[in-house]
Amino acid sequence: MKYDFPKGFYWGAAASAPQTEGMSLEGGKAATIWDYWYKTQPERFFQGVGPKNTSDFYIQYKEDIENMKKLNFNSYRTSISWARLLPDGKNVNDEAVEFYNNMIDEMIRNGVKPIMNLFHFDMPLIMQEKGGWENRQVVEEFASYAKTAFKLFGDKVKMWTTFNEPIVPVEAGYLYNQHYPCVVDMKRAVQVAYNTMIASAKAVKEFKEDNNQGKIGIILNLTPSYARSEDKEDLKAANIADLLFNRSFLDPSVKGEYPEELVALIRENNLIPEYREADKELIRDNTVDFLGVNYYQPRRIKAKNEPCKAGETLMPESFFDTYEWPERRMNPYRGWEIYEKGIYDIAINVRDNYGNIPWFISENGMGVQDEERFIDETGMVKDDYRIDFIKEHLKWLHKGIQEGSNCFGYHLWTFMDNWSWCNAYKNRYGLFRVDINSNYKRTIKKSGLWYGNVIKNNGFED
C-alpha cells in the first residue's frame, strides 16, 4: 500500500537549545537550572554527563543544516535559550542575536523553515531564584522575553511556539522529583502549571499585538489515557488522568478555557492557585493558531485498588492507578510503551473535540541504548527498529489525515543524538549518530537515509 501525505506536508525533526547547542556557559549565556543542578548534584545525571557541551550545534550548525538539506527537510524546530538571549533577564546578548540570526538564515537558505520555540524546560537560574513559575513576576519577565524574541527574529521566523511540553516541568520539577527544583507538592505544582499557562497566553498576546504576520502555537505532549475497562470507575479514573495531564494545557490553549471538571477537581481538593480576575479574559482571547503534539506513549489507567487514606500526601495518583496492559509492547531502554494507534486517536480527538485546529506531530521517536551494537563494517548504525517505529506511526497518522484530521506535518525526535536531561546520552534518538568522545562527529544512520527518501517521495510504500 502507498502512503501519500498532503502536499506541502512539513517534514523534519525537532530539538531544543539546551539539548543541542552546547556552550552552555559561553557566548555570554547565563546559567539555567540545568547548569546549576549539574554543578551541585552531578550524580543525578547518567554517567555524570552534564549540559555543558551537549551536541555542539552552536559550533557545527552549518554542517548540520546542510545535512538537513541532504535529507530533504523542509522544516526544523528548535528553541531559543532565554538565558542566552537575555543573560541578566533584561539586556540583549549581542552574541546570541548573531548566533540565532546566522542559524535562522542558514536554515532559510537551505529551504528549511524554522519553527522557533521559546521555552524548553530551561528556566534561567536568575528566574528560578525568584521562584520560577511559582512567581507571577517571572510570568511578566517571560512575556517580555517573548516580545524581544519576536522583535529580533519575527521578520524571518514565521512559526513560533510558546512552550514545549509545559506539563513536564510541573510533573518532573514539582511532583516526581525528576528535575530541579525537585519539589514534591501538588499545590505548588498546580500553581506552576497555572502560571505557565498564563505565561503562554501572555506570549500569544504579545505576538498578536506585534502585528506579526506569522503564526503562534504551543507544543503539548498528549498521552492518551486508556481505561482498563468500560467499568464506570475505570473510566472515571482515566478521565481524571486526561484532565490533569492533557486537558490542563490543551483546553485553555485551544479553547480558551479550563474544563469545568478540572476546575471542580482542583477546587474540591483545595488546590486552587492564586489567580487574577483578568486572567480568564486573557486566556479566552489568546488561544493558539496551531498545535504541536509530541507523542511517545499512552497512559494505561484503572480505578484505585484502595482509596486514599486521610492525611496522605495528595498526588495525581491519589485519583487513579496505572496498570500494565497485558498486550503492551515496550521500548525497554526508555521504559515506554510503544502504541502506534495512539497517534491516530489523538488525530481524531483533535478533529472532533478541538475544532480540527491545524496541528502537527512535533515529536515522535525512539530512544535506544548502546546503539554502537548496531554499527556495521562501514561505520553506520543499522537502526531498522527506528525505521519500523517511524513507519508504523506514520501509517496511523496517515489514516487520521485520510479521515479528515488537519495535520500538517511530522517532526521526528530527533535529527542527531542529543543530550536527554538526566539521561544524558543514554538513549539515542537521532538520524545521525553523535560521537561525544570525538569532537561530536556526526555519522548518518540507516534511518537517516530512509527518512530522507520518505520526505523526497512525500510518503512511502509498504
Q: Which stretch binds ligand BGP (CB under 6 A): 24-32, 206-214, 282-290, 418-426?
A: 418-426
Q: Which stretch binds ligand BGP (CB under 6 A): 36-44, 99-107, 195-203, 420-428?
A: 420-428
Beta strands in 234-326 (DSSP E): 290-294, 299-302, 321-322
Question: Grid coordinates in use for 259?
Answer: 474544563
Closest C-alpha among 86, 201, 77 to residue 151:
86
Residue 124 to residue 30: CA distance in whole angstroms: 7
Residue of 223, 294, 349, 405 interacting with ligand BGP (CB under 6 A): 294
Nearer to ligand BGP, 72 or 364 (CB): 364
Longest C-alpha distance within the chain, in Å? Answer: 65
Site string for ligand BGP, 314-353 (x = CB under 6 A): --------------------x-------------------
Residue 297 to residue 1: CA distance in whole angstroms: 26
- Smallest gap from Cβ 110 to ligand BGP, in A, equals 24
Work out whether 367 is an interface residue with ligand BGP (CB under 6 A): yes
- Smallest gap from Cβ 220 to ligand BGP, in A, equals 10
Give the dihedral sign, CA 121/125/131/136.
negative
- Smallest gap from Cβ 51 to ligand BGP, in A, equals 12
Closest C-alpha among 170, 325, 183, 318 to residue 249:
170
Work out whether 239 is an interface residue with ligand BGP (CB under 6 A): no
Residues 6 or more apart whose Cβ sits within 8 Å of residue 322: 299, 300, 301, 302
Nearer to ligand BGP, 106 or 165 (CB): 165
404: left (phi over 0), alpha (psi -120 to 50) or beta: left
Residue of 363, 371, 383, 417 interacting with ligand BGP (CB under 6 A): 363
Nearer to ligand BGP, 152 or 366 (CB): 366
Residue 9 to residue 41: CA distance in whole angstroms: 43
Q: Which stretch binds ligand BGP (CB under 6 A): 22-30, 164-172, 246-254, 255-263?
A: 164-172
Active site members: 165, 363
Work out whether 420 is an interface residue with ligand BGP (CB under 6 A): yes
Closest C-alpha among 88, 84, 116 to residue 103:
116
Task: Show the DSSP H helices in 45-163 as ranges.
Answer: 57-70, 82-85, 94-109, 125-129, 136-153
Residues 6 or more apart whose Cβ sits within 8 Å of residue 11: 72, 73, 74, 75, 409, 410, 411, 454, 455, 458
Q: What 3-state class would DSSP assign to 11? A: strand
Q: What 3-state class would DSSP assign to 174? A: helix
- Smallest gap from Cβ 77 to ligand BGP, in A, equals 10
Using CB under 6 A, which residues numbered 206 to 235 contact ligand BGP? 221
Q: Which stretch binds ligand BGP (CB under 6 A): 233-241, 268-276, 401-409, 421-429?
A: 421-429
- Smallest gap from Cβ 225 to ligand BGP, in A, equals 17
Residue 408 to residue 289: CA distance in whole angstroms: 13
- Smallest gap from Cβ 328 to ligand BGP, in A, equals 18
The whole-angstrom distance between residue 38's C-alpha and the CA centroid of its chain comes to: 21
- Smallest gap from Cβ 166 to ligand BGP, in A, equals 11
Residue of 74, 423, 443, 457 interacting with ligand BGP (CB under 6 A): 423
Residue 293: beta bridge partners? 220, 361
Nearer to ligand BGP, 237 or 431 (CB): 431
Nearer to ligand BGP, 206 or 363 (CB): 363
Q: Which stretch binds ligand BGP (CB under 6 A): 189-197, 235-243, 307-315, 417-425?
A: 417-425
Nearer to ligand BGP, 5 or 410 (CB): 410
- Smallest gap from Cβ 19 to ligand BGP, in A, equals 6
Residue of 24, 72, 161, 164 interacting with ligand BGP (CB under 6 A): 164
Binding site for ligand BGP (CB under 6 A): 16, 19, 164-165, 168, 221, 294, 334, 363, 367, 413, 420-421, 423, 427
